Amino acid sequence: MNSTRLTGRRVLVTGGTGFLGSFLCPMLEARGALVRALGRADGDLCEQSVVRALLAEARPDVVIHLAAEVGGIGANQASPGRYFYANAAMGIHLIEESRRLGIGKFVQVGTVCAYPRNTPVPFREDDLWSGYPEETNAPYGIAKKALLVMLKAYREQYGFNGIYLLPVNLYGPRDNFDLETSHVIPALIRKFVTARDEGRGVVDVWGTGSASREFLYVEDAARAIVAAAERYDEAEPVNVGSSSEVTIQQLAELIGQITGFEGSIRWDPTRPDGQPRRCLDTSRARERFGFEATTPLADGLRRTVAWWTSR
């Protein structure tokens, strides 16, 4: 699909009113797409009848599925059953109903949590099935990975054009800053800003700080999805990331500097670190649809901190 194909096309974005969707939808519109952004108020996508009605009404040419039940380590540990069911059910219903309606293209946004716990670094797409995911988020990761299997099966049996993207941890303005359900970057930003404003000398952080992660700025992620929707039509999954690895300790220290926190960090080794390392090989995205991240971590963090403190 070349870049002109989105012009005049009806594109349905599940989760379109959420964090990533709020950046993606304007980019699609700038390409000339006719965008319908679905949010929670539009209905429960875990219900097949709701999905069927929404798709029948919108009659999209392309579906981009962002909607998910997501959270950090604590949220995954608290609700593993819900995370498995909701993420599997939404994807299964959307793929099946899209196939039944003859929708031309389906873009499934998966998760780096689908990778095995001890995947060699950098993670390559061929390693996706080499082991079991990290236990703290395995139900979520497996539910999302099952949708890759479904898309491949539907491509083989029905000729259904479904593609699958594997983004790393996203961050940026408009992220979820709820300490009970947020991911690591918004949680740390909120903790450091609160500690700074209240004059506290210590910030408590989960784990040992030794685990590493790769982070992708939300606008870069949105650009990658647009590029894939325009140019990628193959069955193989594609990593989407920045190819830059940072330890949680380095991340916490950087956020402390950016927020102006002058105290100390107290690590809690009784809390889980999660997967030991995460860093992607992103060569397939570059080769297949020309995507490379452009936002350095420090710049993205400054923008995110500025957004949070100016609300």
Question: Do strands 212-217 and 245-247 pair parallel, antiparallel, or not at all (unpaired)?
Answer: antiparallel
Question: Is 305 contained in some domain?
Answer: no
Give the CATH number for residue 165.
3.40.50.720
pLDDT of residue 285: 98
* 66 found inside a domain: yes
Task: Indicate the DSSP class of residue 279.
Answer: -
If the chain, 311 residues long, is cut into consecutive pieces of 10 residues, what is the mean pLDDT of each piece? 74 98 98 97 98 98 95 83 97 98 98 93 96 93 97 98 97 94 93 97 96 97 98 98 96 98 96 90 98 98 98 89
Domain that holds residue 220: 3-174+214-245+278-295
**Is position 265 within any domain?**
no
> Does some domain include residue 226?
yes
User: Total domain count for the chain?
Assistant: 1
Answer whether residue 138 is part of any domain. yes
Q: How much is the pLDDT for 294?
A: 98
The residue type at 217: Y
Active-site residue list: 140
Listed in sequence order, the DSSP H helices in the chain are 21-30, 48-58, 73-78, 80-101, 138-158, 184-198, 218-231, 248-259, 283-289, 297-309
Give the pLDDT of residue 4: 46
> In the sheet that 245-247 helps form, which strands lie side by side, from edge to edge?
169-171, 212-217, 245-247
Q: Which residues of 67-102 are buried (b: 16+ CB within 10 A; e: fewer)?
A: bbbbbbbbbbeebbeebbebbbbbbbbbbbbbbeee
* pLDDT value of position 46: 98
Handedness of CA 35, 39, 42, 43 (dihedral sign): positive
Does 116 fall in a domain?
yes
146 found inside a domain: yes
Domain assignment of residue 267, yes or no: no
